[in-house]
Chains A and B, each alone.
Chain A
């Protein structure tokens, strides 16, 4: 008997007309690693909810079919019984905090206390999970004072410590630095060896391909295919469903590299079995330098109220072209851009935007000059409808309601949310909320636009849109600054990259040069863009290949 058995599952959220899940059937055996792929709104999160009982026990609505967990029907079971077997990691780590604990270690303990574990066991598990996720140094910190990525690590740690039989993760690495993301996959794979079963929704297809046993491909609430990664990613119609296969598969498809009628390779190793060349065209573009606003940062230092130095005498000049900021979780990236927006005041040093020192102005006065899209979209949203949300900024600039509305609708169209303008922002997915944030800032047409992790949770289409938006802004003479953990996006869009680590600038120069310095890549916990990895691997293979003739 399989551990999870899903049969003809159908579900519709209350007051909705479309099915979020439509006749889904599959089974999962103990110790399997199942990946869920699909574009935004495909139904990944809802499927996760259905596996851990939140659908139908918390989210009501129309429910049909059956989900059997270890033979017990989820519909008939109580939520607390289900959650004792199934652990669930949310897509937004902030929503997962208990709110009852005041240190990171105690937060992990919250779940363990509810399980009634003896004290020694709790201490052991806390230590172990802190160590696994690399957050031991934060154990005494208040969970609400963590950076986005640190919080995500905590969210994963606090569920892993509970050692559920089945672990369901909804995009658990969306805010992690690249090496952190890799670590999470390794950890999770190790857990499957100890018999834990994993179901993970993810956008990082290279990782899904490398780690999962099977992939469930969802589209519009339907299960399109349930199969091995190679088979699923070899589908011809993948892009039509808004899913980009792993880069390795894309390269292989381009050159027709596969053994007769077998699927295309999905990992780097498999790809390298073939002879080919991967020219780096399109990678590391050098952007045209234009006349833009200018940010001058001088000897900038900053500490939060706990006194720990987060930024340590940073000097930078930002202008002329789109700039990427990359680096490890907790490096101080978000803090840096909040300072640029005058939401925080430097402890030392100064930031001058065009002619204005941020100390002499206010965030509100800077609104027309600098727009900041927050890392956590929920921190940015406060209105009851998406349209109102986007109109808020323009209205503050003193234009008429009608004008504000037309501006807002125009921006909502640009991010692909025009149809949802009247909806409540809390009813759309995290990735869509992120786009609301983008639209609400762009509607004010500031001269400098700072994005804090815009690609977070975005699918192929969303990223393409962002890429267009950034190019359009640049062409209009705006200065675009982007914090990113997606190195592929960095290497395809930005000519200049700044690498920060532990409050310092480790590198500032062309994107190409940034990725040529392997020691810095290592130190900053980032990775090489996938296509660049391919090119390097081919080159290495050639150099080490025994020469014939």
Chain B
């Protein structure tokens, strides 16, 4: 089974890896919010550029690409819908058969695209460079219940866990003669018999897991402790203050000025 998280482990870490989870969460929040408040392509591009820069510093830029790839379907449909059907239709950009692409629609679609890309990248900064257990622990220390923390942790692991489970079931099926390797059509065809078992197995595993948690004292009511101390991040306060001021500035600027 492959590693169960999206987290990218680096032997020597990186400045972004060393940042504490809360600061990174602050960053995600600020970055996403202001990208939606800023009006022009240029400004949103700058926000996006910062997120990408963070990914590069964190040495995880390559790992975001498949995730962008997955969200591409979503992005493409935004482009199509907005580009072709946005009500502001003045300037014709392109004629494709019976359809016409308008500049206004395209411009708005492009802005949305930048924002969504930024959202993916900003979340990437958080998810790819933070150990999920540390992320959740940081929240638990801030008062989140440990039960909810566990749920959150499971949510963070849903994709990798599903991938691992799918891998297992695929092994079981291919061992018994269901062809899954080869042309695209073969793969697509083999995908459908996978769905049922994946759901069935995750249900079974969830049940087993809840027994396991019971047995390991997860529901005990006493105080709990933590094996690893969360490393102190010396620039945490500074970074958070800066991010907050930036956020306030944008809000004030966009709403009152």
Taken together as a complex, chains A and B put the C-alpha atoms of A110 and B226 apart, in Å, by 9
The 0/1 profile, CB within 8 Å of A marked 1, for residues 126-169 of chain B is 00000111000000000000000010011001000100100011
A426 contacts partner chain B, Cβ-Cβ < 8 Å: yes
Find chain B residues with CB under 8 A from A25 CB: none
A254 contacts partner chain B, Cβ-Cβ < 8 Å: no
Known: A142-B4, A363-B171. A444 touches B176 (CB 8 A): yes
Which A76-125 residues sit within 8 Å CB-CB of chain B?
A: 79-80, 83-84, 87-88, 90, 95-102, 105-106, 109-119, 122-123
Is B201's CB under 8 angstroms from A382's CB? yes
B13 contacts partner chain A, Cβ-Cβ < 8 Å: no
Determine which residue in B216, B217, B223 has the highest number of CB atoms from chain A within 10 A of its CB, and name it: B216
Find chain A residues with CB under 8 A from B214 CB: 54, 58, 79-80, 83
Taken together as a complex, chains A and B put the C-alpha atoms of A159 and B228 apart, in Å, by 20
Known: A113-B224, A364-B181. A382 touches B173 (CB 8 A): yes
B5 contacts partner chain A, Cβ-Cβ < 8 Å: yes
Find chain B residues with CB under 8 A from A122 CB: 225, 227
Is A364's CB under 8 angstroms from B174's CB? yes
Number of A-B contacts (CB under 8 A): 166
Smallest beta-carbon distance B227→chain A, Å? 4
Q: Which of B19-27, B31-39, B203-211 contacts A (4 or more CB under 8 A)?
A: B203-211
Is B179's CB under 8 angstroms from A364's CB? yes
B62 contacts partner chain A, Cβ-Cβ < 8 Å: no
The 0/1 profile, CB within 8 Å of A marked 1, for residues 165-191 of chain B is 000110111111111111000000000
A123, closest chain B residue (CB): B227
Contact of B213 among A98, A116, A162 (CB under 8 A): A98
Known: A102-B4, A122-B225. A372 touches B215 (CB 8 A): no
Taken together as a complex, chains A and B put the C-alpha atoms of A397 and B213 apart, in Å, by 41
Is A119's CB under 8 angstroms from B172's CB? no
Is B174's CB under 8 angstroms from A343's CB? yes
A344, closest chain B residue (CB): B171
Find chain B residues with CB under 8 A from A380 CB: 172, 175
Contact of B221 among A54, A80, A117 (CB under 8 A): A80
Smallest beta-carbon distance A264→chain B, Å? 38
Contact of A392 among B168, B176, B208 (CB under 8 A): B176
Smallest beta-carbon distance B157→chain A, Å? 8
Is A379's CB under 8 angstroms from B216's CB? no
Taken together as a complex, chains A and B put the C-alpha atoms of A97 and B209 apart, in Å, by 7
Pairs of residues from A and B, 7 with the lowest C-beta to C-beta distance, nearest first = A367-B177, A382-B197, A396-B177, A114-B217, A393-B176, A109-B227, A95-B208
Q: Can you name 7 A-B pairs with beta carbons within 8 Å?
A: A54-B215, A83-B214, A106-B133, A111-B217, A393-B177, A426-B204, A440-B176
Give me 20 other A-B pairs in contact (C-beta within 8 A), A58-B214, A79-B219, A393-B177 excluded.
A95-B212, A106-B133, A114-B217, A117-B225, A118-B225, A122-B225, A363-B174, A364-B178, A367-B175, A371-B175, A382-B172, A382-B197, A382-B201, A383-B197, A383-B200, A384-B200, A396-B178, A426-B204, A441-B176, A444-B177
